[in-house]
Amino acid sequence: MISEFSDEKLAELVQNGDTDKFGILMERYQAKLFRYGKKFISRDDNIEDVVQDVFIKTYQNIQSFDVTQKFSPWIYRIAHNTYINSIKKTITGPLYLFDFDTILSHTVVDDPIVREKEQKEIKEIVDRGLKEVEPKYREILILYYIEDLSYKEIAEILRIPIGTVGVRIMRAKEILKEKYKDLKIDL
């Protein structure tokens, strides 16, 4: 049954000429990319057009996808680039997405009990506070807490070290907590 095929197998079939299988990949990722784009871009643009651009670029570049790798980080990387380009087109001033953290190495400790508690707390405020956070932190929160991607997958998508993913998540949570401190929301 086709629905049982992995994303990677479907991509391989598309690479081998079975272009109809790309529709299945679109169905699997449309809601995810729409949600990611809507929260990342955080304005009232026609997000459907931007997501459509993601799928066009994905289809155009499907031959470069390595089927021995996971498909989701690859398509999220295309989405990331497309969303950044969309933001750049509408911003009049410079957009600074470069971060010096990318050159530094950090250690990430992942205690499951602490992580579960933090995830519960942060999920309650992420949606409300995304517009208050600069793009590099907004995106990482979306990928981690809303799209449920791993540090490794996020690092691949954003092309940053895994340690930087952890640092940005920590900083983004602190920024959100600070934003909500004045509202007297218990975190």
Same domain, residue pair 79 and 135: no
Q: pLDDT tens string for the chain (187 positions)?
A: 556 899 999 999 999 999 999 999 999 999 999 888 887 676 655 788 889 999 999 999 999 999 999 999 999 999 988 888 887 776 554 444 433 333 333 334 456 676 666 666 656 555 667 777 787 888 888 888 778 888 888 988 888 888 888 888 888 888 877 776 655 544 4
In a domain, 45, yes or no: yes
CATH of the domain at 107: 1.10.10.10
Burial classification of residue 86, based on how many CB atoms lie within 10 Å of its CB (0-12 exposed, 13-18 middle, 19 or more buried): buried
Q: Does some domain include residue 105?
A: yes
Q: Do 32 and 83 fall into the same domain?
A: yes
Task: Quote the number of domains for the chain.
Answer: 2
29 within domain boundaries: yes
The reply to whether 17 and 80 lie within a common domain is yes
The pLDDT, as a whole number, for residue 60 is 93
pTM of the model: 0.61
In a domain, 186, yes or no: no
What is the domain range of residue 139? Answer: 100-181
Region of 5 on the Ramachandran plot (φ > 0 left; ψ -120 to 50 alpha; else beta): beta
Phi-psi region of 104 (alpha: psi -120 to 50; beta: other; left: phi over 0): beta
Q: How far is CA 74 from CA 64, 80, 154, 185, in A?
A: 10, 10, 10, 37
Judge if 122 and 46 occupy the same domain.
Answer: no
In a domain, 154, yes or no: yes
Would residue 95 count as lying in a domain?
no
Question: Which pLDDT score is estimated for 95?
Answer: 41
Please report whether residue 16 resides in a domain. yes
Burial of 31: CB neighbours in 10 Å, binned 0-12, 13-18, 19+? exposed
pLDDT of the residue at 114 = 66
Give the domain-ending residue among 72, 90, 108: 90
Q: Are residues 71 and 6 in the same domain?
A: yes
Q: Indicate whether 107 belongs to any domain.
A: yes
Domain final residue, candidates 38, 56, 90: 90
The first and second tokens of residue 73, run together, are 């980080």
